[in-house]
Structure 1
Amino acid sequence: MKMKKLLTLAATFTLAFSITACGGNTAAPATEAPAENPPAQETPAENTEAQELKPEEGAKLIVWESRDERAYTDAVAKEFTEKYGVEVTIEELSPTDQVTKLAQDGPSGLGADVVLFPHDNLGKAVATNLVLPNDFYEEKTKSSNTEAAIQGVSYDGVLYGYPRAAETYLMYYNKDLVKEVPTSMEEVIEFSKTFTDKSKNKYGFMFETGNLYFAYPFLASNGGYIFGNGGADVNDIGLNNDGAVKSMEVYASLKEILPVKSGDITPDIKRGLFTAGDLAMDINGPWELGGYKEALGDKLGVAPIPTIGGQPAVSFSGIKAWYVSSFSKYPQAARLFADFATSKEAQLQLSALVGSVPTNNEAQEDDQIKNDEYVSAFTEQFKSSQPMPSVPEMANVWSPVGAALAEIWDNNKDVKETLDKAVSQVKDLNSGGAAK
């Protein structure tokens, strides 16, 4: 089967969509380093155009993949086996759990050869010696993918990942309910005052208010940030600076038109309301695209997140990528698969299935992407996004900031004081050791 035929094959699959946001909404549990460093793997010979990496004799691979994107990997694995004669077994595992699982199972030889996780887990994986550098295909990977993708799957100047998709979120809306799409949060409030009726469980606008991943625009759009120097300087925390406070004041004002406790705004609830026509606008990611299109058809619209405090909304973004396990018995075959499964054709296939944004430069310029109003909208929002920090200390951020969001939203706590407390907690966790 040729890769270009996979789009036809894709139509036969029933699509399932995850309620997990690109791994950003739930940090993977902390992992401990393996008891011993994995044995050094032989570095492949220098890569040249005339040379192709050859799989080891008798190589067999285990690949971890999410249930929701299994159709894509099944198809790619089948073609890979036909071309190279390497048997591939796919095991379903949430990307946010794979670093922890690899640390547990890798040393005993029970882990996967090729793993998949969002880039904010990379620092933890590198610190605990779980993945090999992307060395043989380094030049090819760097020239084929966007700079943001390469930055996301690199750590401390070393390329590790084989990027396959970029993910962020934007605003879905129901065209039957929203005639003039709001471009600012002030307009969101104005519209919602005419639509929201809590007694009838109808809401004009909704997002996961207690989830840092989705609430990040209300911290970053006016100059807030998590760690300085592009997410690398953990001693520079910008979650409570003047810009963050300004954006969070807009966040707090939205409680007027969304009088729901943060813990009661879940992916399932939002999905049910939006597909039933009881929610006019929803902030969500590409994993919901298929289900929303099926439910609303031509009534489904997409738009950039409205401005916050007069500034363009800065969303969080993540890069999903394949990584080769340090414990693999077949690192050559694993490298070959990771490269094969992230080609232009493979990324277009994945986008056709789940609406993901390709990281491959040529794929982004393909008519399939440019002519798709939904995927192209995600691509535009991605340009206004910031990648999640990949340092291990990022694991120390989710819980304190999530608690602060809930305090501000549910209990009307002072924005500045609550953010100050959260930053103090993050600093304490960092000083006690990353991701402990």
Structure 2
Amino acid sequence: MKMKKVLTLAAAFTMAVSITACGGKSATPEPAAPESPSTEAKTSAPDQSAPELKPEDGAKLVVWESKDERAYTDAVIKAFTEKYGVEVTLEEVNPTDQAGKLLQDGPSGMAADVVMFPHDNLGKVAAANLVLPNDSFEAETRDQNTEAAIQGVTFNDVLYGYPRAAETYLMYYNKDLIKEAPKSFEEVIEFSKTFTDKSKNKYGIMWETGNLYFNYPFLASTGGYIYGNGGTDINDIGLNSEGTIKSMEVYSSLKEVLPVKSGDITPDIKRGLFTSGDLAIDINGPWELGTYKEALGDKLGVAPIPAIGGQPAVSFSGIKAWYVNSYSKYPNAARLFANFATSEEAQLQLSELVGSVPTNKKAQESDQIKNDPYVSAFTEQFKNSQPMPSIPEMGNVWAPVGAALAEIWDNNKDVKATLDKAVTQLQELNSGTAGK
């Protein structure tokens, strides 16, 4: 969605709330002792008879937010300040940078009170005791959000996050080039044989064939997985399992209709081909929705990823969530903000402004989402997605699997032997013996 539209929507929302000045935060506050996750936090919901949580006297908060989504947070801040009388300052920090910045600045008291990052960063942050458990609002967070969202913001059986949006990818298609969305990759291949012409730079389908993130459906749709036990058991690696091999056979079969090296398929190349009408199908995420709608208008179609091996395609999903800094001087106010900013209403506002997919179950069933053909399609794919593992060892997966995908795609290497090698490399990385 273009920024002009975002700002227009944000202005319309903020007219409904009073404008309240935001206060700053001391540059060198004395860090408060972080609260450690208790056994109770892991095993029980908060006491429903406990007094209502209230912000600390004189509480002032700093929150980190991305530039692209601050219109939503600016609006939420004003509504929150009106309700609780707490001043909130927003600092623009890219979500992918926030976990690292928190690791660096959290103990010194320089980090924001409330931070937001994709859930696959949670493991390293929680292991360093830098975020507080979502304890005061645990029961309602679990009740109101999807199972995948809760799984994503949980680490070692402790709920930490306040989910606000889901992110996955689906199939964009040009209705002028292919009238109906293919239901299976067999149908994709059948169509692409009539459309693909490498000499004219025209392709039936394209996706980043060397990127594990976009290729997870070719690992998981017929029973494969990365780590066992919901992505937490590093001793159970399923990247070379029978289920993975079955899905990867479909992956290999697509080389016939996409005769392009993996390194030559980039986001910019795909975007150019799709918007110019030279690419019929692109597997991509919500970040391209605004550009594709502007370029294709009514010709743009969206649908779940085609079935793989007779099974619904299982995509990777990321959960964006708020987290409370363990070193916050005002943890109650921070908890209140994180919960307030992820309500059903707040998630619908975020979706309206930036096209995000709510994790709140009622929001997903709202007319706003159901009547939006684009967001509703992402919601459907999200329901058949799996959150990326959030354990620190997930960081070891990307390089060996990416290299394996490139070998299989570019050099026609044997699928099983190549994945066996990748698993061995991953085991060495996890055990710390790589290179020894």
What TM-score bracket applies, with the shorter chain setting the length? Answer: 0.7 to 0.9
Shift of 1:334: 1.0
The 5 A counterparts of 1:317-396 are 317-396=317-396
The question of whether the paired residues in 1 share the 8 Å contact of 2:9 and 2:353 is answered with: no
Structure 1 residue aligned with 2:54? 54
Shift of 1:50: 8.4
The 5 A counterparts of 1:230-241 are 230-241=230-241
Measured in 2, the distance between the counterparts of 1:95 and 1:407 equals: 32
Structure 1 residue aligned with 2:94? 94
SS in structure 2 of the partner of residue 222 of structure 1: coil
Structure 2 residue aligned with 1:39? 33
Measured in 2, the distance between the counterparts of 1:422 and 1:274 equals: 33
SS in structure 2 of the partner of residue 389 of structure 1: coil
The question of whether the paired residues in 2 share the 8 Å contact of 1:7 and 1:349 is answered with: no
Please identify, of 216-225 and 149-158, the stretch whose mean Cα deviation from structure 2 is larger: 149-158
Structure 2 residue aligned with 1:162? 162
Structure 1 residue aligned with 2:287? 287
Letter in 1 for 2:371: N
SS in structure 2 of the partner of residue 240 of structure 1: coil
Structure 2 residue aligned with 1:265? 265
Shift of 1:10: 3.4
Measured in 1, the distance between the counterparts of 2:211 and 2:68 equals: 21
Measured in 1, the distance between the counterparts of 2:207 and 2:403 equals: 16
Shift of 1:311: 2.0
SS in structure 2 of the partner of residue 307 of structure 1: coil
Structure 1 residue aligned with 2:402? 402
Cα offsets for 1:302-342 (capped at 9, x unmatched): 11211122222111112111000112122111111101100
Cα offsets for 1:234-279 (capped at 9, x unmatched): 1111100122112112212212221222122122222222122221
Cα offsets for 1:36-79 (capped at 9, x unmatched): x97134999x7657843222233222211222222211211222
Shift of 1:7: 11
Measured in 1, the distance between the counterparts of 2:201 and 2:61 equals: 49
Cα offsets for 1:172-203 (capped at 9, x unmatched): 10111111322111211121122222233221
Structure 2 residue aligned with 1:17? none
Structure 1 residue aligned with 2:432? 432
Measured in 2, the distance between the counterparts of 1:284 and 1:191 equals: 19
Shift of 1:141: 1.3
Q: 1:318 and 1:429, CA in 2 relative to 1: closer, same or farther beyond 3 A? A: same
TM-score, length of structure 1 as denominator length: 0.87
Measured in 2, the distance between the counterparts of 1:38 and 1:390 equals: 26
The question of whether the paired residues in 1 share the 8 Å contact of 2:166 and 2:358 is answered with: yes
Shift of 1:212: 0.7
TM-score, length of structure 2 as denominator length: 0.87
Letter in 2 for 1:290: G
The question of whether the paired residues in 2 share the 8 Å contact of 1:59 and 1:333 is answered with: yes
Measured in 1, the distance between the counterparts of 2:10 and 2:177 equals: 32
The question of whether the paired residues in 2 share the 8 Å contact of 1:224 and 1:243 is answered with: yes
| Identity over aligned pairs, percent | 79
Structure 2 residue aligned with 1:278? 278
Letter in 2 for 1:111: A
The question of whether the paired residues in 2 share the 8 Å contact of 1:306 and 1:312 is answered with: yes
Structure 2 residue aligned with 1:116? 116
Structure 1 residue aligned with 2:223? 223
Q: 1:404 and 1:11, CA in 2 relative to 1: closer, same or farther beyond 3 A? A: farther
Measured in 1, the distance between the counterparts of 2:67 and 2:422 equals: 34
Measured in 2, the distance between the counterparts of 1:428 and 1:86 equals: 49
Structure 2 residue aligned with 1:31? none
The question of whether the paired residues in 2 share the 8 Å contact of 1:60 and 1:87 is answered with: yes
Letter in 2 for 1:154: T
The question of whether the paired residues in 2 share the 8 Å contact of 1:47 and 1:137 is answered with: no
Measured in 1, the distance between the counterparts of 2:243 and 2:275 equals: 35
Shift of 1:207: 0.8
The question of whether the paired residues in 2 share the 8 Å contact of 1:222 and 1:244 is answered with: yes
The question of whether the paired residues in 2 share the 8 Å contact of 1:123 and 1:391 is answered with: yes
Please identify, of 227-236 and 284-293, the stretch whose mean Cα deviation from structure 2 is larger: 284-293
Letter in 1 for 2:321: A
The question of whether the paired residues in 2 share the 8 Å contact of 1:286 and 1:354 is answered with: no
Structure 1 residue aligned with 2:125? 125
Q: 1:239 and 1:109, CA in 2 relative to 1: closer, same or farther beyond 3 A? A: same
Identify unmatched segments of 5+ residues in structure 2: 1-5, 14-30
Measured in 2, the distance between the counterparts of 1:267 and 1:394 equals: 23
> Are positions 1:104 and 2:104 aligned together?
yes
The question of whether the paired residues in 2 share the 8 Å contact of 1:116 and 1:322 is answered with: yes
The question of whether the paired residues in 1 share the 8 Å contact of 2:32 and 2:329 is answered with: no
The question of whether the paired residues in 2 share the 8 Å contact of 1:287 and 1:354 is answered with: no
Q: Number of residue pairs matched?
A: 405
Structure 2 residue aligned with 1:422? 422
Identify unmatched segments of 5+ residues in structure 1: 1-5, 14-36
The question of whether the paired residues in 2 share the 8 Å contact of 1:38 and 1:129 is answered with: no
The question of whether the paired residues in 1 share the 8 Å contact of 2:34 and 2:130 is answered with: no
Measured in 1, the distance between the counterparts of 2:278 and 2:49 equals: 56
